[in-house]
Amino acid sequence: MKQEYGKGYQWCHRKIKGHGYRMTLGREAILDVLSQADEHLSAEDIYMRVHKIYPNIGLTSIYRTLDILDTIGLVNKFDFGHGRARYELAESSSGKNHHHHLVCTGCGHIVDYTDFIDEEVALLKKTEEGLSRKYKFTITNHLIQFYGVCESCSERK
């Protein structure tokens, strides 16, 4: 049974092929895992989950595929400062709303927030245009993160 991701499985499939890449069982499994993830997974997390449904997968292929998916915009890659990259299905393919991240520097917990997101995005868009013109950049992406200490971490101390 095909899983639906945001704009749908077919859309991901077409996007991958549109960039000259092939659709394989391993890649399908990686997209499956990402679409069912409720948190931000590391390459190793993804490896372990994919391994359950497609035991032949190698860690190398996980990295390779994530890199491709990031490049073509199906996946976003993040660094929350714990020494390993974390990945999430992009907005366009996941059906999730646009969000930014709030990171607890104590326990590493991450909140996806959408509060103020419209205002943020409006300002970002304006800023992007200004920067683009002034510095002659073609801006493709932005990153906003807040860092702090969550309630239980500040109590625990």
Partner DNA sequence: TATGTAAACGGTAATCATTATCATTTCATT
Partner DNA sequence: AATGAAATGATAATGATTACCGTTTACATA
Residues near a copy of itself, by CB under 8 A:
79, 81, 102, 104-105, 111, 113, 115-116, 119-120, 123, 126-128, 130-132, 134-151, 154
Nearest to 107 by CA among 157, 42, 37: 157
Q: Does the protein bind DNA through residue 65 (CB under 7 A)?
A: yes
Instruction: For DNA, give the closer residue by CB, 43 or 150.
Output: 43
Q: Which does 11 bind (CB under 5 to 8 A by kind): DNA, a copy of itself, none?
A: none
Q: Residue 84 and residue 46: Cα distance in Å, rounded?
A: 13
CA-based angle 129:111:131, to the nearest 5?
A: 10
Nearest to 46 by CA among 77, 8, 73: 77
Q: Does the protein bind DNA through residue 10 (CB under 7 A)?
A: no
**Smallest gap, in angstroms, from Cβ of residue 123 to DNA?**
30
**Smallest gap, in angstroms, from Cβ of residue 14 to a copy of itself?**
25
Over the window 32 to 61, marking each residue x when it contacts DNA by CB under 7 A and - when it does not, the resulting string is ----------xxx---------x-xxxxxx
Q: Residue 90 and residue 127: Cα distance in Å, rounded?
A: 22
Instruction: For a copy of itself, give the closer residue by CB, 22 or 136.
Output: 136
Contact 100, 113 (CB under 8 A): yes
CA-based angle 73:77:82, to the nearest 5?
A: 180
Binding site for DNA (CB under 7 A): 17, 20-27, 42-44, 54, 56-61, 63-65, 67, 83-85
